[in-house]
Amino acid sequence: MRTYKFGMTTIVAAFVVGMFAARVPAAENVKARIVDELHIAGGVIVVVSEEVSPADFAFFRERPFVVQLLAPTPDTAAKWRASLLSSDVSAPITVTDYDGRRLPYVDRFINLLFVDCVGNLSAEECHRVVAPLGGIAVPEDAEALRRGLESAGSRFVGMLDGYALYRKPWPESLDEWTHAEHGPDNNAVAADHEVGPPKRLQWTCRPYWSKHHERYPPTIPSLVSSAGRLFYFEDQTPPAVFNVRADWYLLARDAFNGVLLWKRPAPAWEPRFWPGDLGGGLSGGPIDYRRRVVAVGSKLYVTLDYHGPVEQLDAATGRTLRMYPGTASDATEIVYASGSLFIACKNDDGETFRVMRLNPDTGERLWEADGGNGIAVSESEGKVFFLAGNNLGALDAVTGRRLWLVSPLEEADDVPTKNTRGRPVLAKLYGPLRTGEGIVLTCADGRGHVLAVSAKDGHFLWSFRNQGFRTFFRPVTAWFIDGLVWCTQEGIPDGDVADDYFAVGLDPQTGEIKRRVPCGAVWNCGHHQRCYPTKATDRFLIFSRRGAEFLNLGNAEVELNNWIRGTCGYGVMPANGLLYAPPHSCRCYSEVALRGLNVLAPETRGPELPNRSAERLTRGPAFGRPLEAVAAQASDWPTFRHDAARSGATAARIGDVSELAWERRFGEALTPAVAVGNALYVVEARRGILNALDADSGRPLWRFATSGPIDSPPTYSHGRLLVGGRDGYVYGLRADDGALIWRFRAAPHDVRNGGDGLIESVWPVHGSILVVGDTAYFVAGRNSFVDGGLDLYGVDVATGAMRYHQHYEGPDTGAGFTRENPGRGFVMPGALSDVLVSDGEAVYMRHLKFDPELKHAIDMEPNFYPAPVRQGEEFGGDHKYWCDLLEVGPRAFVGHPEWDYRSYFNNFPGKRLYSTTGLLDPSWHIRSYWAYGQIVGQTLVFEGDEGYAALAYPNAARWAAFQAGQGYIVYKGKTCVPKPGERLYALKREERIWQTTVPVRPVAMCSTPDGLIVAGPPDSPDPQEATAALEGRRGGILLVLDRDDGSIRRRVPLAAPPVNDGVFAFRGRIVIVTVQGSVVVLGED
């Protein structure tokens, strides 16, 4: 916990993206002055008002803010949107209306709240939605509201231009996470009284996947947080291409809403520069690089170059304030304690270390001494502890004088000297060290032996062997909580009942067990523990067996959360009342596991939400008005991937199309387009603006703005356009002029959180609506375990009236996770949202099947072969794809050829499109695939029994990796419908009709009668060029392949590659939506 104080001195925020922008002069309007006065450098701004001005828009464009304007009525909101569309503002500003009482946001989400129109808004509600250290500006004459803010805990700052300014203090119940292992003592325990089992999503952002963990360190290796900001390094190259030049950045986001505050390039921060190690490199490589970022209040301490000096950065802007001489080339760890920097540096011999203490404000070196790595600082003891080989030592924190050096392994007689095969092993100490309660902890043998020595003089106290899980050579597996040292214990080796596993609290001085809390519900499951360490708060142990299992140390309650995982080697971070889970690379539970960097909260503390069945449908000005109900033709492209089946195939011919007909540049991230008749429709994704263009010239026809982002293209149906929004609404528009016919609130409540640095609904809707007949189908929500689950709807296309509704929540993770479930380690009940698919008879959402009335949810049958009990990995009796003891045998583990073509964890479905991780996931990770029956690849298109697939990997082996320059496989195949009880497998090489290799990453494909269109960035064997190509900086290539033999019939260079699924044929032309924000249409000469 930390106390922050702010005065009234004005500072001007700077916004850094890439390199540094100059300081932005204070804008002339009052809101700009208030931002500066309250020291708000970036984040979410909400304006509650009855009117807005262009000056407001101009100011917000200059800084790292995401802005939402709350209008008192829907009509006012529509007028503001029209004004926004007519301006040239490109900043992320959206408009929505609200009920005047409840602000539509999750708790602690807003950085600055302007209340121009008080109405019925309460002070408690204002206080609820503002993040700690955030500001509130209210009219100075709103006396009742001002008194209420002070009663709620907001602190008065001062008056400015007719506003009373308030700041929300940092709650004592929240804790930060300033170092990789929480604090200078490396005790990975947050003194946070609000972190609890995850129930709702606070915010989320990309990347969806981490790098393949058997070949590369994590995409986001670790997190730290202080003063309401989150900091981390990120490799922004694709997660499954491994011979490209890494593209590392240091990023800062708001910790409560995820808005990107700044980022700085770190070009020399990549694996080839990482020689350091603190006890093993499994699942993530060396781990000292996680200990090079420390956040303390307004400062960040970091090495931006792996062999560069330690730098002090302004945490708000990313600007370098100071470099510390003498720390270049050899600094491996940074610790901040008691107002000093302690830095471990490697000596010239590459083996030994020294430790130095610096004054962080002046850079003065206070002392330097021989020491080691894995350092931990005890502020109460005034000591710095270090590892030097198998020795453990202590330095005086004030003077640097060595106090003692001991060899605890010589006194620990229970550390094994032989492995499980009876071969001798050399016992070794591992770090980082942990200290607390007058002792220092290290671990031995990499398997969980905890050794304790006295912090006073280093004498050996006790050792304890953790049981029941692997540590993967990660930090010491023990936690100081409430005066005890907590470890784990297995009561009966290989026990069969849930209570055989315990968390045990040990006396710090004697190692005697003082408390025992059963936790067998966590550990009695198949497969291995996750390859990241357990974290804790002062109330919970957050285990890492299959995800993030919470054990309440007070009442022994266990809550499984297998649908969320942390990143390899680091895991999750409990801080700020939230649980931060960086992206992982696991395939397990892909049917339900969240992807990306996800930040979760416990149950909401806000007021009760209105009834879910409250009025959802709003009629627009065009409701009941005439429209031209023209049906789409065979050569049109009316929806995402052409049709309800999402086939990507069309009857449109392309002839000899290759010349530019027209181009329309937006300069914004765009979704794929759709086109019907004389109009083409494309969405500015982040701004949530739908554009209609003349199909012959690209001339703008009309624009329509929603109140949030849109992630995929609209759907055309008989003169209407339907589009879902990340704002939780579905919009029905008149296609010829964009007039609103109806708006349907698919979200159970209008509540917003953060998504990819923007404001979106807690229950977003994918843009592409499924239309079957005269019914439109869509789903609101993200995951069946968070925020109350998913809601599926079927509504009347013409009126928006609800016909069908299915609520899908859970199911309870307590079911199906015992030893009786053979698939428990890899598949689980539950669901994730996706663009819906139909085969004309049923509605599909990933692996789930619904009838036209959204009844009878049916899971795909998990593709496991139950092994005899007590066999398989870790003797759990469960199945993994290499553990099929009955059919393939143990050789599958090392790449048995028969297994290369098996489904990963599910049967391939019949003739309908299925994706393990969603149709909008562009990552192409090795552990994901699309399938249309037996036709399997990273993407595909199909017609009837036949289809074309693109493969980045030759098979499904878990360690397969794509190397840039090797080309991509495109093949043609034929599938069938499985008979009852029959298992389908992916087509083998000899079962395909033809196969070819193309020099382009085929992110977009379209099947036409004149050939197969394949388009994307070029493939290059040069690491530097490959990175540039994948980032869209080396143009693109469009190929037309012969449908009969795969030969290249035409090659068209593109100025930029397409977005995923961003190419289609339309009435004799080819439409391309590029990653650079342009719509390009090719025609004949």
328 Cβ neighbours under 8 A, 6+ residues apart: 307, 308, 309
Query: Mind spelling out the 3-state secondary structure of 556-611?
Result: CCEECCCCCCCECCCECEEECCEEEECCCCCCCCCCCCCCCEEEEECCCCCCCCCC
410 Cβ neighbours under 8 A, 6+ residues apart: none
Residue 517 in contact with residue 553, Cβ under 8 Å?
yes
Tens of pLDDT along 560-584?
898 999 998 889 999 999 999 999 9
CA distance 736 to 721: 9
DSSP 60-114: HTTSSEEEEEEESSHHHHHHHHHHHHHS---S-EEEEE--SSS-SB-TT-EEEEE
CATH topology identical between 189-601 and 637-695+706-863+903-1083:
no
Nearest Cα to Cα of residue 265 among 296, 226, 299, 308: 308
Tell the CATH topology of 189-601: Methylamine Dehydrogenase; Chain H (2.130.10)
CA distance 345 to 358: 13
pLDDT (0 to 100) of residue 861: 55
CA distance 828 to 846: 14
CA distance 560 to 1033: 44
pLDDT (0 to 100) of residue 585: 87
φ/ψ bin of 175: left (φ > 0), alpha (ψ from -120 to 50), beta (otherwise): beta
Residue type, 705: A
- 776 or 956, which is more confident? 776
Say how many Å lie between the first and final Cα of the chain, rounded.
69
649-659 in b/e form (b: 16+ CB < 10 A) is bbebebeebbe
Mean pLDDT of 305-315: 93
Mean pLDDT of 427-444: 90
pLDDT (0 to 100) of residue 246: 80
SS percent in the chain: helix, strand, coil, step 5: 10, 40, 55
Give residue 823's pLDDT band: very low, low, confident or very high (50, 70, 90): very low
Residue 513 in contact with residue 533, Cβ under 8 Å?
no
CA distance 561 to 543: 10
CA distance 744 to 706: 12
Residue 451 in contact with residue 460, Cβ under 8 Å?
yes
Q: Name the phi and psi angles at 76, rounded to 5.
A: -65, -40
52-69 in b/e form (b: 16+ CB < 10 A) is beeebbbbbbebbbbbbb
Residue type, 540: F
For 245, other C-beta atoms within 10 Å of its C-beta total 16
The residue behind tokens 């290499």 is 882
User: 557-560: long-range contacts (C-beta < 8 A, 24 or more apart)?
Assistant: 558/519, 558/521, 558/522, 559/197, 559/813, 560/521, 560/522, 560/813, 560/814, 560/817
pLDDT (0 to 100) of residue 617: 96
- 637 or 330, which is more confident? 637
115 Cβ neighbours under 8 A, 6+ residues apart: 48, 121, 126, 136, 137, 138, 139, 142, 145
The residue behind tokens 């050569």 is 635
**DSSP structural state of residue 899:** G
The residue behind tokens 């977009």 is 1004
Gyration radius (Cα) of the chain, Å = 29
- 477 or 452, which is more confident? 452
Tens of pLDDT along 157-197?
999 999 999 999 999 999 999 999 999 999 999 999 999 99
Tens of pLDDT along 366-407?
999 999 888 999 999 999 999 998 999 999 999 999 999 999
Handedness of CA 535, 928, 837, 717 (dihedral sign): positive
Tens of pLDDT along 983-1025?
667 788 888 999 999 999 999 999 999 999 999 999 998 888 9
Residue 17: both structure tokens together: 């993206």
- 612 or 405, which is more confident? 405
**Given a cut of 60, is residue 648 above it in pLDDT?**
yes
Say which range, 360-374, 440-454, 810-824, has the weakest mean pLDDT.
810-824
Pairing state of beta strands 770-772 and 775-780? antiparallel
**DSSP structural state of residue 637:** B
**Given a cut of 90, is residue 622 above it in pLDDT?**
yes
Domain spans of the chain? 16-167, 189-601, 637-695+706-863+903-1083
Residue 732 in contact with residue 791, Cβ under 8 Å?
no
Tens of pLDDT along 726-781?
999 999 999 999 999 999 999 999 999 999 999 999 999 999 999 999 999 999 99
CA distance 546 to 561: 8
Say which range, 456-465, 650-659, 664-673, 955-964, has the weakest mean pLDDT.
955-964
pLDDT (0 to 100) of residue 838: 97
Q: What percent of the chain has pLDDT over 70?
A: 83
pLDDT (0 to 100) of residue 500: 73
Length of the chain: 1085
Q: Does domain 637-695+706-863+903-1083 have CATH number 1.10.510.10?
A: no
- 330 or 732, which is more confident? 732
**Given a cut of 90, is residue 424 above it in pLDDT?**
no
CA distance 470 to 325: 40
Mean pLDDT of 221-246: 91
Residue 799: both structure tokens together: 């009126």
The residue behind tokens 């060396």 is 286
Q: Half-sphere exposure of 1025 toward its Cβ, with a 13 Å CA cutoff?
A: 10
- 419 or 449, which is more confident? 449
- 413 or 738, which is more confident? 738
Residue 952 in contact with residue 660, Cβ under 8 Å?
no
Nearest Cα to Cα of residue 142 among 166, 176, 109: 166
For 571, other C-beta atoms within 10 Å of its C-beta total 27
Pairing state of beta strands 1069-1074 and 617-619? unpaired
**DSSP structural state of residue 26:** P
pLDDT (0 to 100) of residue 267: 86
CA distance 897 to 899: 5
CA distance 685 to 17: 20
Nearest Cα to Cα of residue 622 among 699, 537, 733, 541: 733
- 650 or 1020, which is more confident? 650
- DSSP H/E element including 126: helix 123-129
The residue behind tokens 């979106």 is 760
CA distance 701 to 209: 38
Q: What percent of the chain has pLDDT over 90?
A: 65
Q: Does domain 16-167 have CATH number 3.40.50.150?
A: yes
Mean pLDDT of the chain: 86
Give residue 279's pLDDT band: very low, low, confident or very high (50, 70, 90): very low
Residue 934 in contact with residue 908, Cβ under 8 Å?
yes
Tens of pLDDT along 10-30?
222 332 333 223 333 334 588
Highest mean pLDDT among 52-66, 127-141, 453-467: 127-141
**Given a cut of 80, is residue 851 above it in pLDDT?**
yes
CA distance 344 to 431: 13
Angle value at C-alpha 220, between 217 and 223, nearest 5 degrees = 125
Widest CA span in the chain: 89
pLDDT (0 to 100) of residue 111: 98
Tens of pLDDT along 669-725?
999 999 999 999 999 999 999 999 999 999 999 999 999 999 999 999 999 999 999
The residue behind tokens 């649980």 is 579
Residue 453 in contact with residue 439, Cβ under 8 Å?
yes
CA distance 329 to 347: 10
pLDDT (0 to 100) of residue 928: 83
Q: Is 901 helix (H, G, I), strand (E, B) or coil?
A: helix
Mean pLDDT of 892-914: 52
**Given a cut of 50, is residue 882 above it in pLDDT?**
no
262-284 in b/e form (b: 16+ CB < 10 A) is bbbebeebbeeebebbbbbbbbb
Residue type, 464: F
Mean pLDDT of 494-516: 82
914-944 in b/e form (b: 16+ CB < 10 A) is bbbbbbbbebbbbbbbbbbbbbbbbbbbbbe
pLDDT (0 to 100) of residue 274: 53
CA distance 204 to 220: 14
**DSSP structural state of residue 753:** E
Handedness of CA 801, 804, 807, 808 (dihedral sign): negative
DSSP 1021-1077: SSHHHHHHHHTT-S-EEEEEE-TTT--EEEEEEESSPEEEEEEEEETTEEEEEETTS
